[in-house]
Amino acid sequence: MRHWALAALFLAACHPQTKQLSYEGADKTTDAARIEHGKRLTYILDCRGCHGENLQGEDMSDKPEDGAIYSPNVTLLVSKYSDAQLDQLLRHGKPRDGREFWFMPVESFQFLSDEDFAALREYLRTLKPGGRPLPPFKFNAVEYKDVEQGILGNAQAQIRKYRDHPPADMGAQYAWGRYLAQTACSECHNNALQGWPNFTPSLDIAGAYSKPELTQLLTDGRGKMGKDVGPMSRVARRNFSHLTPREREAIVDYVLARANQPAKR
C-alpha cells in the first residue's frame, strides 16, 4: 500500500495540474484586488457596452427604426442569483428560470478561467441596486432576421459552435493570447475569428497591420495612418484600453500569427 502511495506522489510531482490561463491580476489574494480585477473585466468583456456604463441596462439597437432591444439591469438582478446560478448563467447560458437564453455572449464567456470568473462575480456582488427594470428582451427586426437565416443561434447552440470550432491553435507560445482573444474578441468576430456576415471582418485582416500598428489600434483605436476605423475604434477605446501592456501584446502576437500562417492547400 505504501508503495502505491509513493508512486502516486511521484506521478503527481511529474505531472502537476495545468494552471488555467487567466487575465493578469486574476491571482490577487485580497478581496479589494480581486474586485478591482473583476471590475476591469467588465470593460474588457464588453459588459458595459451592452448593459451601459452603470450596468443598469439600455436599448442596444443601432437604429430606432429597427426597434428596441433591451439589455437587463444587472444591478437589480445579480442579488437574485446564487454563485452557482451565476456560473450557470454566465458560463453555461442557463438562466435560473430555465427559459431559452439569447444574445448574451456566453459562448465567449464559457472559456473564462475559474479565477477570472470568480473575480467578475465578486465585483458584480458589490453593485448597489439602481435604476429601473427594463422591458424583457425580444429581438428587433435586424436580429430576428439573423435568427431566421440561421446566422445566430440561442445560447446553447452558440456555446456548442464556439466550443467545437475554436480559433486556430498556434502553439504554446501563443496560448495566452489565444485565450484572451477567445474571451474578448470572439464576441464580435465569431467563434474562429472569421467574422460575421455584414457585421465584422475576419481577423485575417490583421495581416495588413504591423505589430506597432495593431498595438496602437488596441490601445486608443487609431488604425493605419491614425485613422478611425469605425466600431473597432470605439470598442478599442471603451474595452481594450483596459488591457495591460502584456495582455495587449499577447493578443497582438496571437492575432498576427493566426493571420500570417501559411495558407492551407
Per-residue pLDDT of the chain (265 residues; tens, 9 = 90+): 444 333 433 334 444 445 789 999 999 999 999 999 999 999 999 999 999 999 999 998 887 778 888 999 999 999 999 999 999 999 999 999 999 999 899 999 999 999 999 999 999 999 999 999 999 888 887 777 888 878 889 999 999 999 999 999 999 999 999 999 999 999 999 999 999 988 899 999 999 999 999 999 999 999 998 889 999 999 999 999 999 999 999 999 999 999 999 875 3
Query: Which three three-digit cell numbers place residue 102?
Result: 439569447
Please give the pLDDT value at position 7: 40
pLDDT at 1: 41
Is CATH 3.90.1150.10 correct for 166-259? no
| Amino acid found at 212 | P
Q: Which CATH architecture has domain 24-164?
A: Orthogonal Bundle (1.10)
69 contacts: CB under 8 Å, gap ≥ 6: 59, 60, 61, 103, 137, 138, 139, 140, 143
Which pTM does this prediction carry? Answer: 0.89
- In angstroms, rounded to a whole number, what is the distance separating the alpha carbons of residues 238 and 240? 6
Measure the CA–CA gap between 180 and 40, rounded to whole angstroms. Answer: 14
In sequence order, the 6+-apart residues with CB closer than 8 A to the CB of 91 are: 106, 109, 110, 112, 117
For the chain, where are the alpha helices, taking DSSP H only? 2-14, 31-44, 47-51, 74-77, 83-92, 106-109, 114-124, 141-148, 155-164, 175-184, 186-189, 211-220, 231-238, 245-259
Q: Could you tell me where in the chain the CATH 1.10.760.10 domains are found?
A: 166-259
